[in-house]
Amino acid sequence: MRYPIVKFLLPFSLFLSSCEEPFIPENLQQEPQMVVEGFIEAGDNANPAFLVITKTLPFLSSISTETLNNNYVSGAKVTLSEGDRKISLTEVCFKDLPANLKAQAAKILGFNVENNSFIPNVCFYADLAQAMPGQAGKKYQIEILAEGKKITASTTIPLPVPLDSLRFVPNPGANQDSFLLLTSKLADPKTQQNFYRYQVRMEDGPFITPGGGSLFDDRLFNGQNFKLNLPRPGADGESFNLSTFGLYPVGKETTIRWVTMDQSLFDFWNTLEFSINNQGPFSTYTRVKTNVSGALGVWGGLYVKNYTLIVKK
């Protein structure tokens, strides 16, 4: 999200500009680096293992439909392994899919077919036959051979840590007949370090990630049982209302997507969220962490548990 510079800051920024030396980045035309984004899931409605390979774009460049379509790396050899087992992921390009599979692929890749007039021709690699479905407690490696380069990464799907006692309760100050707060309980295991994330879907809409508050670890409550509130994130285009912020409309069906992950995936998402939410004229630079060797990006394992409820007291 980009924040506009409000009018009263403009004279101040002009004053600062007269006191600062201009900074011109060097090597703006560096050789593009490959970027990997891939996941393997276990749990409820787990997606098959998949990954997308793209390339970085120059700092100063124009982005067009052709640029995006040419940015996906095709023709790579991708191997997924767990222990002594190995399989090859199949390359699939979005434009080549039959109509009945495009919606499913768009859902996995995070595209909204109905609301997006343009979807780039994504080429991705997937375990279409689900020959190696994700399992909790297992470690998974990928090896990518593309354009003369070797890229590797590994991740572990952690054991699940379920939520308990999910219920909707009145929230002071709100219209309690129309909006409720969602609470739950979490028994955090003491024997392992745990990393959590949640997303929310209302009715048949997409899963929405709370901005800047979807991720947390157990450093402050390791081994404890405690109450956990799960605020509802606002949908794209939804107007902000302080009296109903984070609350759920009564009568609607909602699904909580509760995710446990390993530290490398947590570090990636955590630094990515911080970078996205820390933009603006006075923001600081944040380097997004990667667990991929030979490229940028992430290869992450996650365990998913879905909880579907009707919003009512």
Residues 84-118: tens digit of each pLDDT: 999 999 998 877 777 767 666 666 666 555 555 45
Is 34 a residue whose pLDDT tops 50?
Answer: yes
Options 2.30.30, 1.10.260, 2.40.50, 2.60.40; CATH for 32-158+290-301 is 2.60.40
Q: What is the mean pLDDT of residues 273-282?
A: 69
Q: Percentage of residues in the chain with pLDDT exceeding 70?
A: 76
Q: Percentage of residues in the chain with pLDDT exceeding 90?
A: 54
The per-residue pLDDT for 93 is 83
The per-residue pLDDT for 111 is 59
Report the phi/psi class of residue 119: left, alpha or beta, with left for phi > 0 and alpha for psi in -120 to 50: beta
Residues 155-214 pLDDT 10s: 999 999 999 999 999 988 767 789 999 999 999 999 889 999 999 999 988 899 887 678
Residues 284-312 pLDDT 10s: 667 889 999 999 999 999 999 999 999 99
Residue 69 pLDDT level (bands cut at 50, 70, 90):
low
Residues 261-275 pLDDT 10s: 999 999 999 998 877
What fold is seen in the domain 163-265+305-310?
Immunoglobulin-like (2.60.40)
The ranges of the chain annotated as CATH 2.60.40 are 32-158+290-301, 163-265+305-310
Of residues 7 and 143, more confidently modeled: 143
